[in-house]
Every structure is written in C-alpha cells, then in structure tokens.
C-alpha cells in the first residue's frame, strides 16, 4: 500500500486536487483559501505545495490529499485511496484484478440501465402518464432530471434484451438485481421462450421492474447501486406499491442514505441533516431549497447509516410520518442516535402531511417547520402529555414509561435531571420515584448503547498542560533534526521518557530516516493517525499567520534551549502531579488515623517539594 500511496502522490498535485473542491489563491510560496471545514470570513486554510500538505490555522485540521478527500467526502481511507487512484490512473497493487473488473462491469450495467429508464420516461411510454404524475406531485423538469428519475415499461424482457444486445451476459446482469430468476421446476404463468433467457442450471430470467417509476439509488459519489420502483398510478394496485433492488455485492440497503451524494456538502455547511422517510420527500425538499435532506428509504435507521451521518454532522432533524408505525420508527431511531452522541430534533406537521406534500403546497412553511424543529425531549414531552390524561393513574404510568424510555438514553446527567424534574412536576410525583423507574428503564434499554460503536479510549476534551508540553517537545524535534538527534541521545541515556506514540516512533526511526521530517512521513505513511498527527505538530511549530493573514515561518533562535526549557516544565508538572497524589493519599490516611502512613507520606511530600524547588530555581 505504501507504494500505491507514493505513486498516487507523485502523479497528483495537492493544489489541483483541492482546487476541485475549494477556491485557492496564491499567497507567496503557498496557497490559501476559506476553510471548508468551519465557517470563517478571513482565509486561514493554507496549502504547502512544496511539501504537499494542507493546514487550517483556525480549526487546526491538517493532512495530505487523502486526509482532505476523507474529510470532504466523509469516507474512510480505503475509499479515498480508490478515488484518488482512479484520478491518478494508478492500479492499486493490493486489488484483485478480476474482482475489480467485475465491479466495473456491474457499475457499467447499472449506469446503462439508469439511462435506459430515463429515456423511457422522457421519450418512451412514460412521457405522457408518468411525467404528468411527477409534475402533479409538484416536481419540475430540472428536479426530475437532477435525480435521474425514470420509467420501466411494461413487459418481461425490455431491460434484459437491451443489455444482452450490448454484450453483457445473463449471469452478470442478474448480479445487479435488475432481473428475477425462476427455476424451470417452478410452476409459472410466464411464457417467454427459454432462449435467450436461459441461464446456467436451467434458470430463466425476466425483468424485475415492469411498468414502474424508477428512483435510482446512488452511493456518496453518485454511482448508481440499485433502485426503488413505484407502481404506476392507475395500474394494478394489487401489486406491492414499492419494489426495491435486492441485496447484492454492490447494494446494501442498510448502508445507503438516499440523496446523500447531493446533500453531503450542504449537510456540512448547515451542520445538520434532515432525515425523511422516502425518495419523494428527499426530492421535493431539495427542490424547495432544503438540500441537506436524505432518506432512510422506508427502513428503520440503522447503525451503519448513523456511522455515515456522523462523518458529516452530529445533528439530525427527523421528519417521519407520525402514524403509529412512524412514531415507533422515530422512537427507535431517536434512541439509537442518542446512544451514538447525536443531537436530535423532531419536525412536526399537521396530521396526514409529509415533506413532499408540504414542499408542493407551501415550501416556505416547510422550511419554517424544519427551522422550528423541537429538541427531541421537548417534542415527546408535549406529545405524551397531550396523548394521555395525567390525572388517571394508568395514564400516569404510560406517560412515565414512554418518557423515561427516551430519557434513559440521554448521555448528559444535567439534561437527565432537568427532564426528570420536569416530568415529576407535570405528573405531580416525586423525583425520587421517577429516578427509581429510570434505573429500570436504563437496564431495559441497555442493549441500544451496547449495540453502538465502542467509543475510543481517548476522549476529546481540554488538553492538559503536560499534554501541551509533549506536543511542544515533539514539534521541536520535527522541525529541527539537531533537536531530534539530541533527544534520541538523551532517551538512550535514560534522561528523557515520554508516553507518546509519535515520540516513540521518532526515536525508533530517527537514525533510519536521518532525522528528516519528509523521509519520516514516508516511513509512517501507512499509519494515517500517526502521520496526520506528525503533520499537524510540524505545521503548528513551523508556521504561523502574520497580521495580514499570510503564512510565515516561525524563527526559533535556539531550538535546543527551548527543548530543554520544555523538559524542565515537564519535570515540574510531573512533580506537581506526585504532590497532588500524595495529598489525596494523606487525606485518606488521616481519615483512617493511620499514623505510620501519614509519617511516610509527609516525608515523601517534603522530599518532592525540595526537588520541585530546585527545578524552579533553574
């Protein structure tokens, strides 16, 4: 993989890659732009063309072309690698050529099928009846074309014949989910000739989608992976209203959010996603100007979908039908979101309306309702108290059960206490009674939290002074090969030891890379977390913005002297930590009247205090 990465970087210039996403302006030897990852009025996003990395002095994010694509597209490294490999014309060494060819053929078939359906809508049998229906639903030509809606005509073999004539085999067409196969042993009222529909093992094939409106479903980059097909209005209503592509190697319903390819940029910009139920809701919302809208496509929100959403935002506004099924789906989705540290608001409309209806009737009101979405607990509090009679004992129990079921998933204890108090006041019961019930509800609902992704052991929070000093020390080593070499000598003599993965990697590889930052980055290129950390600390110590918001190099008069100063500060912090620990132990010893322990701890405290005083004198 290392060779793949280096080849891609050698063929792509970071300025060209980033320039496809953001407007870059020349600033001396470097380039600058408004940061795409946070709102700012003055550009603090800098691109170093010589070293091929970027850094934002505002939000402190930094990295190479891979990190940028990962951040912008909300994808994992492997997906960014594939995207940039295609752009650079590099064949990844670790890929399976046969598997890759099969995947490309599948994508080609799906793309051709989508174009076929589009033609049938605009120029074929769907021109009259289907276009009229879509326009009656409030969609204009531009929107219909943007979302590539289509029509699958009546008949058993339209798509099959179309693709066979273009040189694709039955088995590879079947893998896309466009066909249904039927074994000869099964009774059938279908009468197509076995040839040319005959496949391996005596199976016959026919078109899955017939006389239906087609909604192509794409991945985050816009590649079609599957379809939802709605029965044509006025046709056989005994059929299922919607038919979906089956699970295939390419299409996994639980991992897809309809409309994400068109919504992702706006989701980042608005810092929230509007989550709706169906494709028409997404399309109509986009046309109404709410372009950060995606759909779960009729399924309950899944863990995979939540993971995808968290790449772009941690704020969801849900807009589901509020019939009994819709309300249950909303509650289940809400609890999963809360268990995954996502903030949830609920959009509410009058009974019987959905996003598509409101977008057609009153787009402005739809936008107002989305903007006025209620925090999830406020929404369920109002709805639950409005549904039951709080003066009846049985209804009190129902109110308690429904609301505590949601409260138990709140992570913030202050927020939990707030809602327990509010529910207690509303019901006229004691808070302690609700707290007892909450413990039961928490145990009952524990499976939601357990099923969520495990949090990293490192929590994001305020950085300690000791952590800041470690970053200073490592940064100095990265920008000064002399300091790096001296630090290695000190480590070998036991004079310095830091519990830091980047520091340890630099000591291990220092001599091998000749204490050179660029060579070191190439050595650790496979470890994305470590290499991004190294780039970030290098930039923070090497560059700054001047008064005119231009990037300038930081001049360090004596980097080794600064390193030694940081070392002394580190030692002071360590001694202070020891004294704090002794202080805590001493309090425990006094509570237990342990005279021997008190004597020993006081001696240790006196010794460390003297050592700290000596360090302070230096």
Lowest mean pLDDT segment, chosen from 30-34, 170-174, 496-500: 496-500
Give the model's confidence band at 547: pLDDT under 50 very low, under 70 low, under 90 confident, else very high.
low
DSSP string, 165-220: TTT--HHHHHTTT-EEEEETTS-------HHHHB-GGGEEEEES--SEEEEEEE-T
Q: Decide: 30 and 49 in contact? Cβ < 8 Å.
A: yes
Lowest mean pLDDT segment, chosen from 432-436, 443-447, 451-455, 563-567: 451-455
Q: Between residues 581 and 202, which one has the greater pLDDT?
A: 581
* CB-CB neighbours of 367 under 10 Å: 16
Residue 228: strand pairing partners: 215, 244
DSSP-based three-state secondary structure for 515: coil
Enter the tokens of residue 266.
């706006």
Q: Decide: 487 and 563 in contact? Cβ < 8 Å.
A: yes
Residue 231: strand pairing partners: 212
Give the model's confidence band at 444: pLDDT under 50 very low, under 70 low, under 90 confident, else very high.
low
Q: Between residues 7 and 443, which one has the greater pLDDT?
A: 7
pLDDT for residue 523 = 84
* In the block, residue with structure tokens 């732009």: 33
pLDDT digits (tens, 9 = 90+) for 236-287: 766 788 899 999 988 988 889 999 999 988 998 899 999 998 899 999 999 9
Lowest mean pLDDT segment, chosen from 86-95, 139-148, 244-253: 86-95
Lowest mean pLDDT segment, chosen from 111-115, 184-188, 384-388, 564-568: 184-188
Per-residue pLDDT for 325 more than 70? no
pLDDT digits (tens, 9 = 90+) for 230-239: 999 887 766 7
pLDDT for residue 451 = 44
Of 182, 121, 173, 175, which is closest to residue 147 (Cα–Cα)? 121
Q: What is the mean pLDDT of residues 294-301?
A: 79
Distance CA 438, CA 436 (A): 5
Per-residue pLDDT for 387 more than 60? yes
Distance CA 112, CA 119 (A): 11
Distance CA 144, CA 150 (A): 9
pLDDT for residue 150 = 97
Q: What is the mean pLDDT of residues 379-390?
A: 90
Give the model's confidence band at 216: pLDDT under 50 very low, under 70 low, under 90 confident, else very high.
very high
Mean pLDDT over all residues of the chain?
Answer: 84
- The whole-model pTM stands at 0.64
Q: What is the mean pLDDT of residues 292-309?
A: 84
* CB-CB neighbours of 365 under 10 Å: 14
pLDDT for residue 241 = 87
Q: What is the mean pLDDT of residues 436-461?
A: 52
Give the model's confidence band at 506: pLDDT under 50 very low, under 70 low, under 90 confident, else very high.
very high
pLDDT for residue 455 = 40
pLDDT for residue 346 = 92
């Amino acid at each position: 993989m290392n060779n793949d990465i280096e080849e891609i970087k050698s063929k792509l210039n970071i300025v060209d890659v980033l320039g496809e996403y953001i407007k870059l302006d020349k600033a001396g030897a470097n380039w600058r732009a408004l940061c795409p990852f946070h709102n700012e009025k003055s550009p603090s996003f800098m691109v170093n063309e010589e070293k091929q990395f970027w850094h934002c002095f505002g939000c402190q994010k930094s990295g190479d072309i891979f990190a940028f694509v990962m951040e912008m597209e909300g994808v994992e490294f492997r997906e960014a690698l594939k995207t940039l490999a295609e752009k650079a014309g590099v064949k990844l060494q670790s890929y399976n050529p046969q598997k890759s060819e099969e995947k490309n053929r599948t994508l080609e078939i799906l793309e051709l099928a989508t174009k076929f359906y589009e033609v049938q809508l605009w120029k074929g049998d769907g021109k009259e009846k289907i276009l009229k229906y879509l326009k009656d639903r409030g969609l204009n030509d531009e929107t219909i074309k943007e979302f590539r809606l289509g029509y699958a005509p009546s008949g058993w073999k339209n798509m099959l014949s179309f693709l066979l004539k273009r040189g694709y085999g039955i088995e590879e067409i079947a893998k896309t989910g466009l066909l249904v196969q039927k074994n000869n042993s099964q009774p059938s009222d279908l009468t197509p000739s076995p040839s040319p529909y005959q496949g391996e093992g005596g199976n016959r094939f026919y078109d899955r989608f017939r006389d239906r409106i087609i909604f192509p479903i794409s991945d985050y980059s816009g590649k079609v992976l599957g379809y939802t097909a709605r029965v044509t209005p006025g046709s056989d209503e005994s059929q299922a209203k919607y038919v979906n592509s089956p699970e295939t190697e390419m299409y996994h319903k639980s991992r897809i959010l309809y409309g994400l390819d068109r919504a992702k940029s706006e989701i980042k910009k608005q810092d929230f996603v509007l989550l709706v139920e169906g494709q028409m809701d997404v399309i109509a919302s986009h046309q109404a100007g709410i372009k950060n809208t995606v759909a779960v496509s009729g399924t309950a929100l899944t863990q995979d979908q939540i993971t995808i959403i968290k790449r772009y935002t941690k704020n969801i506004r849900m807009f589901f039908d509020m019939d009994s099924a819709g309300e249950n789906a909303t509650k289940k989705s809400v609890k999963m979101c809360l268990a995954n540290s996502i903030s949830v608001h609920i959009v509410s409309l009058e009974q019987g309306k959905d996003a598509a209806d409101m977008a057609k009737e009153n787009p402005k009101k739809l936008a107002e309702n989305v903007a006025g979405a209620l925090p999830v607990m406020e929404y369920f509090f109002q709805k639950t108290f409005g549904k039951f009679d709080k003066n009846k004992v049985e209804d009190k129990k129902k109110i308690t059960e429904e609301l505590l079921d949601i409260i138990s998933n709140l992570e913030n204890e202050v927020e939990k206490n707030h809602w327990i108090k509010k529910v207690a006041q509303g019901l006229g019961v004691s808070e302690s009674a609700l707290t007892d019930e909450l413990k039961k509800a928490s145990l009952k609902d524990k499976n939601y939290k357990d099923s969520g992704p495990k949090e990293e052991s490192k929590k994001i929070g305020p950085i300690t002074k000791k952590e800041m000093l470690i970053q200073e020390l490592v940064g100095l080593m990265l920008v000064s090969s002399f300091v790096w070499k001296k630090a290695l000598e000190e480590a070998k003599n036991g004079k310095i030891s830091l519990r830091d993965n980047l520091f340890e990697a630099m000591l291990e590889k220092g001599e091998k890379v000749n204490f050179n930052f660029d060579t070191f980055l190439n050595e650790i290129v496979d470890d994305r977390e470590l290499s991004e950390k190294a780039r970030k600390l290098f930039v923070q110590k090497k560059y700054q913005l001047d008064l005119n918001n231009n990037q300038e190099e930081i001049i360090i008069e004596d980097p080794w002297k600064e390193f030694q100063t940081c070392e002394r500060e580190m030692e002071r912090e360590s001694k202070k930590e020891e004294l704090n620990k002794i202080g805590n132990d001493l309090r425990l010893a006094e509570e237990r009247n342990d005279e021997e322990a008190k004597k020993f701890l006081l001696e240790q405290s006196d010794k460390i205090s003297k050592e700290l005083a000596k360090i302070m004198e230096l």
